[in-house]
Chain A
Amino acid sequence: MSFLDIIQQYTPARVEEAIAAMTAADVERALAAEYLSETDFMALLSEAAEDYLEPLAQKAHRITRRRFGNTILLYAPLYLSNECHNGCRYCGFSAGNKLPRRTLNADEIEADARVLAEQGLRHVLLLTGEAPKVAGVDYLVAAVERVRPLFSSIGIEVFPMEEDEYARLIAAGVDTLTVYQETYNPELYEQLHPFGRKRDYAWRLATPERGGAAGLRRIGIGALLGLGPFRSEAFFTGLHGRYLARHFWRSQLSVSFPRMRPADGGFQPPVTVSDRHFVQLICAMRLLLNDAGLILSTRESAELRDHLLPLGITQMSAGSCTAPGGYSGTERATEQFAIDDERTPAEFAAMLREKGYDPVWKDWDGLFLRPDAHAANH
């Protein structure tokens, strides 16, 4: 059974209503539960739970420390291309936007990758738009093979693929797949994706399943916060996470919380998710998915990121640039979205240590995926 069969049993409006009907008693029961029911999760996402933010945060903190200890995994995004045939209304790379288009060649990719590696980063996330002719599967395989010697873990946040294409990327050295559904609301999804291959909601929704079936070790999901009513988006994200954890139990699940930032093209997020609501969503997700990696990017400000550290976050990007070629060159004019935490990885790691966290640079080894690997010294 695909997650599509499950989500079709719900309608976003009804879920919003059910969440709105939650009471303080529902929240208290959910806060005491060892294992959350769907109703419990709704309660934690509700307006009624806003009066319980501190106990919610305390519990999220305890669960996270028990499961992950005092560590934060660091990674950086590496944008390979900003060419895209999709028309996502909220995205700076959208096909209709007039901006210089650039796709890095193999040498340029390596140049950017070296900058990241020299800063100590060992987990990298490769990103592209969706433009199969200039940055398709073959291009990605070549890019992965080029940067593999520099990193311990390679993730991709690109375009949805078939299972056998994921298998090719795994063979090349990819271990992590990130794919956001953007919005779980099918009607809103249709409005926001007027053309391009991305219009197909169901194809995108089943992408983590194809990646899981291919054997990717880490699978990341998320909804863009700010596109639609955030409580139901968070609810469906949690439901999706729970589905993936059950069905693709060999893969580590992670959930990201991308909050909309102004992008090129002038898109204004229709929904504002306040810091208070943001904290609530992250903590509720931790109580639902005790073992999931929770990821926070540099879209958020340095001050807020520091405060969010104890609340359930386990993985953060640092020193990010969202423009292709941005690390080795001075090119920043073609960013996908603006970043708000400008600290270097070293500065960020120093802050983590000061606050009592161990910055983890390496938590995986690509050698796990290389059947032909031999000990280096032999």
Chain B
Amino acid sequence: MSDQLTIADRSFNSRLLVGTGKFSSNQAMVAAMEGAGAEIVTVALRRVDVENPQDDMLSHIDRQRYLLLPNTSGARDAEEAVRLARLARAAGCEPWVKLEVTPDPYYLLPDPIETLKAAEILVRDGFTVLPYINADPVLAKHLQEAGTATVMPLGAPIGTNKGVRTRDQIRIIIEQAIVPVVVDAGLGAPSHAAEAMELGADAVLVNTALAVAHDPGAMGAAFKKAVEAGREGYLAGLGEERVQAEASSPLTGFLRDGN
């Protein structure tokens, strides 16, 4: 496969990351992961007991098959996020972390200041850091300068299923980023994932849309196709909407033959 997703020093065939929250059962979660063809799954550290191999949720995730990406969901500031990440590593998780700092418990919007602080500490600590952020291009640049492995801008507030509402900002992030851009949060339908990929996102992360589907496995498969379709469309070179050219006096009339 030539079109692989590379994050830090690892390559993946799948560009669809899945979350593990909100599923009705561990069986439904596994079905969604399998249907999605995911290779990276993220788990909220607050939900699991990483030190216990018998942990109910973790025991359902085949660690040979999936890269387990612990996330710091629930952390309200940098200090809490850093502590959670270090605990996960101490318990044997790989030193990868999806950094989420969400002091607002309602919309779960990420705190840019605390996220940057935590990212700086965790990168120094040797972590591969994938930060969840609002779709803020300048913040994305600060984070990549701090050494994060990706940036993960939200398409819409988490769990809202509204799609790529931050489209213009995400387009700028994609244009300017020197690390992979993973659109995270708000993607409620396969078409939303395709839209993000068509914009040039390197990958997307989906959770709620799979967890609340009647058939999470089938929804996983639908998202898989959408991500692949969006990616292929992006690579193939999309045509844009035509806008009617504004009537204007000729600008090149001064060029005559022989010039």
Interface locus among A88-96, A257-265, A273-281, A317-325: A273-281
A344, CB-defined interface residue at 8 Å: no
Interface pair B239/A32, CB less than 8 Å apart: yes
Q: Which residue of the partner chain A has the closest CB to B200? A: A35
Residue from A40, A53, A247 within 8 A of B178 (CB atoms)? A247
A32-B240, A33-B240 known; A276+B251 contact, CB < 8 A: no
A276-B259, A307-B254 known; A29+B237 contact, CB < 8 A: yes
Residue from B176, B177, B246, B255 within 8 A of A58 (CB atoms)? B246
A246-B176, A249-B141, A276-B259 known; A57+B251 contact, CB < 8 A: yes
Contacts of A61 in B (CB 8 A): 248, 251
Query: When A and B form their complex, what is the total count of cross-chain residue pairs whose Cβ atoms lie within 8 Å?
Result: 52
B171, CB-defined interface residue at 8 Å: yes
Residue from A39, A53, A249 within 8 A of B252 (CB atoms)? A53
A246-B176, A246-B178, A274-B259 known; A311+B242 contact, CB < 8 A: no
Interface pair B237/A37, CB less than 8 Å apart: yes
B9, CB-defined interface residue at 8 Å: no
Taken residue by residue from 40 to 84, chain A's Cβ proximity to chain B (1 for < 8 Å, 0 otherwise) reads as 100000000000011101100110000000000000000000000
Interface pair B241/A32, CB less than 8 Å apart: yes
A107, CB-defined interface residue at 8 Å: no
A158, CB-defined interface residue at 8 Å: no
Q: Please name 19 pairs of A and B residues whose Cβ atoms are closer than 8 Å in the assembled complex, sorted by A.
A: A29-B237, A29-B240, A32-B240, A32-B242, A32-B243, A35-B171, A37-B237, A39-B237, A53-B252, A54-B251, A57-B251, A57-B252, A58-B248, A246-B176, A249-B176, A275-B259, A279-B255, A307-B254, A311-B251
Interface pair A310/B176, CB less than 8 Å apart: no
- CA–CA, A247 and B176, complex, Å: 8
B1, CB-defined interface residue at 8 Å: no
Q: Which residue of the partner chain B has the closest CB to A290? A: B175
Smallest CB separation, A79 vs chain B (Å): 30
Smallest CB separation, A340 vs chain B (Å): 15
- CA–CA, A33 and B243, complex, Å: 11
Residue from A29, A35, A58, A274 within 8 A of B239 (CB atoms)? A29
- CA–CA, A272 and B251, complex, Å: 22
Interface pair B255/A275, CB less than 8 Å apart: yes
B250, CB-defined interface residue at 8 Å: yes
Smallest CB separation, A55 vs chain B (Å): 6
Interface pair A58/B245, CB less than 8 Å apart: yes
Interface pair A34/B240, CB less than 8 Å apart: yes
Contacts of B254 in A (CB 8 A): 307
A109, CB-defined interface residue at 8 Å: no
Contacts of A307 in B (CB 8 A): 254
Contacts of A32 in B (CB 8 A): 239-243
- Tell me the A306-333 residues at the B interface (CB within 8 Å): 307, 310-311
8 additional contacts (CB under 8 A) given A32-B242, A35-B200, A54-B252 = A33-B239, A34-B240, A40-B237, A54-B251, A58-B246, A246-B176, A249-B141, A274-B259
- CA–CA, A310 and B252, complex, Å: 10
- CA–CA, A245 and B242, complex, Å: 28
Q: Which residue of the partner chain A has the closest CB to B254? A: A307
Contacts of A54 in B (CB 8 A): 250-252
Contacts of B245 in A (CB 8 A): 55, 58
Contacts of A249 in B (CB 8 A): 141, 176
A29-B239, A32-B239, A35-B171 known; A58+B178 contact, CB < 8 A: no
Q: Which residue of the partner chain A has the closest CB to B257? A: A276
Interface pair B246/A62, CB less than 8 Å apart: yes
Among the interface residues B141, B171, B200, B259, which one has the most CB atoms of the partner chain A within 10 A?
B259
Q: Which residue of the partner chain B has the closest CB to A274? A: B259
- CA–CA, A28 and B239, complex, Å: 9
Taken residue by residue from 40 to 83, chain B's Cβ proximity to chain A (1 for < 8 Å, 0 otherwise) reads as 00000000000000000000000000000000000000000000
Kindly list the 3 A-B residue pairs having the minimum CB-CB distance in the complex, ordered from nearest: A275-B259, A57-B251, A32-B240
Interface pair B237/A53, CB less than 8 Å apart: no
Smallest CB separation, A96 vs chain B (Å): 34
Contacts of B171 in A (CB 8 A): 34-35
- CA–CA, A246 and B174, complex, Å: 10
